[in-house]
């Protein structure tokens, strides 16, 4: 008799020890029901509780294993996305990279990041652009392009919406902070 379970990791979660233990409990349960000795109802209740507890433990272990495997795939995918922000990123490309179907990937991605792929990529691109703008050597157009933004007007709007500053104002603030920080550092070291 082949054991079946629902879910993507059914074969990986097959556990003959689990089955043997449950068969023993089921036999004890049948024996107690048939014998109907004094307090058999309590024994039946206890055996049913043990069977239920066994099921819960196996189910929790299976879910944890499935969660961990999914998390690792999504974590690897997030690193891939970060490395490819300047490129076009589609759900088909990313789900293929994760070795998942599009539907499964979408479900797992939302579950682990609490975000859609499009929102995640958009925010990651804006964060990268902000980082590049904080370094004096990048123009706004270069920062936009290197972070995967093809339309400069659209980039300006999204950047301002996210950071409540224009890219130019953001860069100027970061440069001011850097200058103040280096002046403070110079002052501290000159007084030591």
User: What residues have CB less than 8 Å from 101, skipping those under 6 apart?
Assistant: 95
User: What count of other Cβ atoms lies within 10 Å of the Cβ of residue 160?
Assistant: 14
Report CA Rg, the chain: 29
The separation between CA 99 and the C-alpha centre of its own chain, rounded to angstroms, equals 15
Nearest to 98 by CA among 80, 114, 84: 80
Instruction: Quote the Cα angle for 175-131-153, to 5°.
Output: 95
Express each pLDDT in 110-168 by its tens digit: 988 889 999 999 999 999 999 999 887 889 999 999 999 999 999 999 999 999 999 99
Q: Looking at per-residue confidence, does 48 or 84 come out higher?
A: 84
| pLDDT given for residue 17 in this prediction | 62
Tokens in use for 43? 């024994």
| pLDDT given for residue 135 in this prediction | 82
User: What residues have CB less than 8 Å from 87, skipping those under 6 apart?
Assistant: 148
Tokens in use for 86? 């300047």
Q: Is the pLDDT of residue 190 over 80?
A: no
Q: Is the pLDDT of residue 72 over 90?
A: no
CA 170 – CA 134 distance, rounded (Å): 8
Average pLDDT over residues 33-58: 72
DSSP state of 165: S
Express each pLDDT in 3-41 by its tens digit: 344 444 444 444 566 677 778 878 887 887 887 777 667
| pLDDT given for residue 16 in this prediction | 61
CA 76 – CA 96 distance, rounded (Å): 12
Structural domain boundaries of the chain?
16-114, 120-191
**Under CATH, which architecture does the 120-191 domain have?**
Orthogonal Bundle (1.10)
Report the run of H or E that residue 56 belongs to, with start and end: helix 40-83
| pLDDT given for residue 103 in this prediction | 94
């Amino acid at each position: 008799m082949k054991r079946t379970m629902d879910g993507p990791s059914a074969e990986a979660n097959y556990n003959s020890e689990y089955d043997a233990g449950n068969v023993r409990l089921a036999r004890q349960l049948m024996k107690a029901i048939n014998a109907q000795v004094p307090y058999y109802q309590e024994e039946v209740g206890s055996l049913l509780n043990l069977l239920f507890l066994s099921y819960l433990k196996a189910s929790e272990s299976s879910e944890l294993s499935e969660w961990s495997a999914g998390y690792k795939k999504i974590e690897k995918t997030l690193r891939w996305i970060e490395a490819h922000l300047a490129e076009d990123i589609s759900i088909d490309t990313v789900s293929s990279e994760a070795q998942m179907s599009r539907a499964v990937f979408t479900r797992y991605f939302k579950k682990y990041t609490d975000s859609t792929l499009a929102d995640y990529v958009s925010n990651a691109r804006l964060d990268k652009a902000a980082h590049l703008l904080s370094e004096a050597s990048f123009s706004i157009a270069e920062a936009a392009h290197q972070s995967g933004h093809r339309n400069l007007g659209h980039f300006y709007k999204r950047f301002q919406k996210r950071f409540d500053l224009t890219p130019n104002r953001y860069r100027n603030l970061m440069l001011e902070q850097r200058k103040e920080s280096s002046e403070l550092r110079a002052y501290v070291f000159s007084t030591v």
